[in-house]
Amino acid sequence: MAEKLTPREKGFSEWYVDLIQKAKLADYSDVKGCMVIRPNGYALWENIQRVMDKMFKDEGVRNAYFPLLIPESYLKKEAEHVEGFNPQLAIVTHAGGQKLEEPYVIRPTSETIINRSFSKWIQSYRDLPLLLNQWANVMRWEMRTRLFLRTTEFLWQEGHTCHETEEDAEKRTLTMLEVYRTFAEDYMAMPVLPGRKTESEKFAGALRTYSIEAMMQDKKALQAGTSHNLGQNFAKAFDTQFQGRDGQQHHVWQTSWGSSTRLIGGLILTHSDDAGLIVPPKLAATHVVIIPVGIGGKAPEAEKAQVLEKVHALAADLRKAGLGVVVDDDETKTPGFKYNEHELTGTCVRIELGPKDLAKSSCVMVRRDLRQKEFVPLDEAVTKVQAMLDQMQKDLFKKAKDFRDAHTFEVNSFEELKAKADDGFLLAHWDGDAKTEARIKEETGLTTRCRPFSLKQEPGKCVMTGNPSQGRIVFSKAY
Which domains, from first to last, does the chain contain?
A: 7-271 (3.30.930.10), 286-387 (3.40.50.800), 408-476 (3.30.110.30)
In this predicted model, what pLDDT tens digit does every residue of 235-261 receive, in sequence order? 999 999 999 999 999 999 999 999 999
The Cα–Cα gap between 172 and 131 comes to 10
Q: What is the pLDDT of residue 2?
A: 59
Residues in the chain: 479
Q: What is the pLDDT of residue 297?
A: 78
3-state secondary structure of 178: helix
The Cα–Cα gap between 107 and 89 comes to 8
At 85, the pLDDT band (50, 70, 90 cuts) reads confident
Of 275, 289, 268, nearest in space to 188 by CA: 268
In this predicted model, what pLDDT tens digit does every residue of 404-445 receive, in sequence order? 999 999 999 999 999 999 999 999 999 999 999 999 999 999
3-state secondary structure of 185: helix
In this predicted model, what pLDDT tens digit does every residue of 254-302 receive, in sequence order? 999 999 999 999 999 999 999 999 999 999 999 999 999 999 878 789 9
Q: What is the pLDDT of residue 76?
A: 85
| Percent share of the chain, pLDDT over 70 | 99
Beta strands 91-95; 26-28: pairing state: unpaired
Phi and psi of 162, rounded to 5°? Answer: -125, 145
The Cα–Cα gap between 370 and 350 comes to 11
At 80, the pLDDT band (50, 70, 90 cuts) reads confident
At 78, the pLDDT band (50, 70, 90 cuts) reads confident
Q: What is the pLDDT of residue 73?
A: 92
What's the mean pLDDT in 228-240?
Answer: 95
Residues 315 and 290: beta-carbon distance below 8 Å:
yes
Q: 309-336 burial, b if ≥16 CB within 10 A, otherwise e?
A: ebbeebbeebeeeebbbbbbbeeeeebe
Alpha-carbon distances, residue 335 vs 5, 66, 171 (angstroms): 20, 49, 54
At 1, the pLDDT band (50, 70, 90 cuts) reads low
The Cα–Cα gap between 416 and 434 comes to 21
- Is the pLDDT at 82 greater than 90? The verdict is no
DSSP symbols for 118-133: HHHH--BGGG--EEEE
DSSP symbols for 263-293: HHHHHHHHH-BTTB----GGG-S--EEEEE-
Q: For all residues of the chain together, what is the average pLDDT?
A: 96
DSSP symbols for 294-351: S-STT--HHHHHHHHHHHHHHHHHHHHTT--EEE---TTS-HHHHHHHHHHHT-SEEE
Q: Of 472 and 76, which is predicted with more confidence?
A: 472
At 312, the pLDDT band (50, 70, 90 cuts) reads very high
Phi-psi region of 60 (alpha: psi -120 to 50; beta: other; left: phi over 0): left
Alpha-carbon distances, residue 251 vs 124, 128, 240, 242 (angstroms): 11, 12, 6, 6
Q: What is the pLDDT of residue 124?
A: 98
Q: Of 86 and 42, which is predicted with more confidence?
A: 42
Residues 222 and 479: beta-carbon distance below 8 Å:
yes
Q: What is the pLDDT of residue 405?
A: 98
| Percent share of the chain, pLDDT over 90 | 94
The Cα–Cα gap between 154 and 27 comes to 13
Distance, C-alpha 119 to centroid of its chain: 32
- Is the pLDDT at 137 greater than 60? The verdict is yes
- Is the pLDDT at 145 greater than 60? The verdict is yes
In this predicted model, what pLDDT tens digit does every residue of 188-209 receive, in sequence order? 999 999 999 999 999 988 999 9
In this predicted model, what pLDDT tens digit does every residue of 13-66 receive, in sequence order? 999 999 999 999 999 999 999 999 999 999 999 999 999 999 999 999 999 999
**10 Å Cβ neighbour count for 415?**
10
